[in-house]
Amino acid sequence: THPMVRDVFEGAKRIGYGARAIMEGGWQSVPRLSFPGGCLVGDSAGFVNVPRIKGSHNAILSGMLCADHVFAALQAGRSHDEVASYEEAWRSSPIGYDLKRVRNVKPLWSKYGTAAGVALGGLDMWLT
């Protein structure tokens, strides 16, 4: 409906819709991240900081962290095996620090509802 693009779409017919879902994850729900020949990073790993709606930063950081561990494995002459060091390293990385601070917010929100859960989650984040 913006005046600068309204004429472009005049008389057009919508043929499809799109949506984006936020993969709620967090400290307690991160799946196994490494498997023979691959790793999970970003949203697929559950690295979204739900209260801050912060997923892009952790997605980029997890890709970099995984790449560092894959590179080290390749330098050591390993290939097609599991990069278990990535699995062990994420909790002590900036991603782990970020997610650990907010680990109780979503469970509190789910258990006590929006108003009380957000208040308790905020208190928990402030005290942590």
**Domain extent for 67:** 27-101
Assess if residue 124 is contained within a domain. no
Assess if residue 113 is contained within a domain. no
* CA 96 to chain CA centroid, nearest Å: 11
- Give the total residue count for the chain: 128
Assess if residue 43 is contained within a domain. yes
Name the least confident of 18-27, 74-83, 95-104, 114-123: 18-27
- Whole-number pLDDT of residue 76: 93
Instruction: Work out whether the CA dihedral 89, 93, 98, 101 comes out positive or negative.
Output: positive
The Cα 26–Cα 37 span in angstroms is 24
Assess if residue 114 is contained within a domain. no
Assess if residue 8 is contained within a domain. no
CA nearest to 108, candidates 98, 120, 96, 125: 120
Task: Specify the number of domains making up the chain.
Answer: 1
pLDDT digits (tens, 9 = 90+) for 14-47: 888 777 777 777 888 889 999 988 899 988 888 9
Q: Which of 8-17, 22-31, 92-101, 112-121 has the highest mean pLDDT?
A: 92-101
